[in-house]
Amino acid sequence: MLTSPPLGCEFYDAAAIARNGRPPATYYESYKAEDTVRGTIDVKIRKAVRWVEDPAIRRKVEMEVRAERESSRRMKGAEVGGCKGEQGRLLAQLVSFEKMAKGLDRARSLRRFTDEIVASNAAPAELVGRLELMALMADWLHPLVKEPWPDVDGVGDRKPYGGLW
């Protein structure tokens, strides 16, 4: 038998215990337990506690599982985000390498062109007079040489009288 009343229960004479559970939005009695031929108050209270406890445990487990899934989803998202950042960095490097390779091809092409001009007897005088400039352009385009070209590098990108365009 119970020695002290459970929370929300009252002792009545004749060993009857009544639990008056009232939901917050209503004012009527929702549950009452008394000793009867079918069962004792202890059994009925255990059954009522289990009736309340099972959904609470279920909700707690669901919340824990949801929290675990959310944390694993966030970890995977961070991992994918890191991979995406690495991918972007590698693609940017690829673009810069392609630009260097294109500059190298252009520099080699200019050098071949100057060699053809030097080897040719029928080259126009305008091209023969510009061989130094072509060599300077080839050195400026070559990614491993990167010779400065003052006529191009010395000019700023912005307009001198203000404005962005």
How do the pLDDT tens digits run along the chain, 165 residues long? 445 555 555 544 334 444 444 445 555 555 666 777 877 888 888 887 888 889 899 999 999 999 999 999 999 888 888 778 888 888 899 999 999 899 899 999 999 999 999 898 888 888 888 888 888 888 888 888 877 777 777 766 666 666 665
How far apart are the two ends of the chain, measured CA to CA in Å? 92
CB environment 88-116: b (16+ within 10 A), e (fewer): eeeeeeeeeeeeeeebeeebeebbeebee
H-type helices in 16-124, by residue range? 41-119
pTM: 0.45
For residue 142, which of 97, 103, 114 has the smallest C-alpha distance? 103
d(C-alpha 144, C-alpha 23), whole Å = 81
